[in-house]
Amino acid sequence: MSKKESNGKLRQIFSASRSEFLVRIPLFLCAFLAFFSVLLIFLFILKESIPAISCLGLRNLFFSTTWRPNVSNPRAGSYGMLAFLSGTLMTTFFAMIIGAPLGIGTAIFIDQVAPPKIREITRRGIELLAGIPSVIIGWFGLTLLVPFLAHITGSSGYGIAPASLVLAIMVLPTITTLGTEGLKAVPAELKEASVAMGATRWQTIYKIIIPAAKESLIVSTILGMGRAIGETMAVQMVIGNARQLAFSPLERTSTLTSRIVTDMGEATSVFRSALYAQALALLILAMCLILLVRFVTRSREVTT
């Protein structure tokens, strides 16, 4: 929208008849509030992380794996977040490796394969899963997954592996729900055309429906990734919260989010600011994902 147009729109909002005006103003305020809070949060986090950036330097802060906070004398500590950044990226990566095929598979099952009754049951199940508080899923991971992994691998059982598994479950509702919507939007005529040519159901799904819904399936996966990157509680319960870089999925480590909640109680001064810098990194990751979504959906607009 050009500047001129948006000015016109603004004028329109304020120049309507009185009853219209009374409806439009609150709606305008709601929208403005949402935008304003995002801006405020971003600026606040940026401001709070500046002391750490200026005191430690970008390199020591973002590209070092040494995290040795000093509670009594914060300026004497080291605050490199690379180990946790790596933890976040690795848990998210493995969670998506498991969760994306599972979620997209479920979406295909719901939209294309399941008979009506089973479709309803599956859909309800996924909705319920979305409503389970993350602490419960984390607890389930802690009492079942961690001992199980410890038993079969001989490690402590904590680490990226259980965190990824827990996250894979938590991203399912996002991927499945959005994926189902995307598949539903594929015109029925395409499916009919394929079936009428003598394609089997699987050939139709694989050759026509999935390619036609590709962009929405990618977007649903990216949004699921956003959920995985931001999840805190469940991850903190199973990842072991060690301050080290993990070289295997079964070593204790931390993610950005779990490190923030673990340390925020005792952090002051530069220590506290370094945690804000982690929040900044998290925010930038999330924004990259949103840009990616916009990029993917824009390429769809061009091709159709």
Partner 1 sequence: MMEKKIAIDSLNMNYGSFRAIEDVTLDILSRHITALIGPSGCGKSTLIRCLNRMNDLIDGVRVEGRVLLDGDNIYEPTYDAITLRRRVGMVFQRPNPFPKSIYENVAYGPKLTGMRGKDELDYIVEESLKKAALWDEVKTNLRESGLNLSGGQQQRLCIARVIAVQPEVILFDEPCSAIDPVATQLIEDLMAELKKNYTIVIVTHNMQQAARISDYTAFMLVERQGEPGRMIEYGDTNAMFTNPKDERTERYITGRFG
Binding region for partner 1 (CB under 8 A): 115-116, 187, 189-200, 203, 207-208, 211-212, 303-304
N-term to C-term CA, the chain: 21
Q: Which is nearer to partner 1, 15 or 304 (by Cβ)?
A: 304
Ramachandran angles phi, psi of 68, nearest 5°? -130, 85
Residue 217 CB, nearest approach to partner 1 (Å): 15
User: Do 99 and 168 meet the contact criterion of CB atoms below 8 Å apart?
Assistant: yes
Angle at 206 between CA 205 and CA 210, to 5 degrees: 75
Q: Which is nearer to partner 1, 116 or 154 (by Cβ)?
A: 116
Q: Which is nearer to partner 1, 26 or 187 (by Cβ)?
A: 187
Within a 10 A sphere around the Cβ of 302, how many other Cβ atoms? 6
Q: Which is nearer to partner 1, 14 or 202 (by Cβ)?
A: 202
Residue 186 CB, nearest approach to partner 1 (Å): 10
Q: Which is nearer to partner 1, 5 or 189 (by Cβ)?
A: 189
Residue 194 CB, nearest approach to partner 1 (Å): 7
Residue 163 CB, nearest approach to partner 1 (Å): 39
Burial 141-157 (b: 16+ CB within 10 A, else e): bbeebbeebeeeeebeb
Residue 189 CB, nearest approach to partner 1 (Å): 4
User: Do 86 and 163 meet the contact criterion of CB atoms below 8 Å apart?
Assistant: no
